[in-house]
A = this chain, B = another copy of it.
Amino acid sequence: MATTNPSPDFSKGGGLLPAIAQDAKTGDVLMLAYMNAESYAETLASGRAVYYSRSRNNLWRKGEESGHVQEVKAIFFDCDADTILLKVHQIGGAACHEGYASCFFRQVTPEGLKVIATRVFDPNEVYKKK
């Protein structure tokens, strides 16, 4: 019987688990970030992706600054319950802080790294750098 409050196993990975965001419509992998139990709970409650920033050591409500939030359409666990997959609708069309739809905009080729996407927005405009 299914448990009513299934949770990833946050006892692994020092309390931080990788979370993959995938575009719910196109299937493109947009980014990978990390979640702790608190960010996972807030994601479930709010319906928006909330990660944990390892550099800032606090909750990272994706899009809080840019307005480019991720509406969560579905959540999956992997077999070991130590990776989370979110299917999302990315507001603004770009998940990457560099202005690309996906953070994976560079492909490894025999000639070197090749940018295989075009920018959706200019990061200097969206983040209003001072």
Expressed in whole angstroms, the Cα–Cα distance for A126 and B111 within the complex equals 39
A26 near B29: Cβ-Cβ < 8 Å: no
Q: A3-B112, A20-B29, A112-B3 are contacts. A78–B107 as well, Cβ < 8 Å?
A: no
A76 near B20: Cβ-Cβ < 8 Å: no
A103 near B83: Cβ-Cβ < 8 Å: yes
Interfacial chain B residues near A103, Cβ < 8 Å: 78-80, 83
Identical subunits present: 2
Expressed in whole angstroms, the Cα–Cα distance for A6 and B100 within the complex equals 20
Q: Of B77, B97, B108, which is within 8 A of A6 by CB?
A: B108
Shortest beta-carbon distance from A99 to chain B in Å: 10
A112 near B79: Cβ-Cβ < 8 Å: no
Interfacial chain B residues near A18, Cβ < 8 Å: 18, 32
Would you call A45 an interface residue if the criterion is a C-beta within 8 Å of the partner chain's C-beta atoms? Answer: no
List which A3-34 residues lie within 8 A (CB) of chain B: 3-6, 18, 20, 22, 26-29, 31-32
B77 near A108: Cβ-Cβ < 8 Å: yes
Residue of A28, A74, A103, A104 with most partner-chain B CB within 10 A: A104
Interfacial chain B residues near A27, Cβ < 8 Å: 26-28
Shortest beta-carbon distance from A9 to chain B in Å: 12
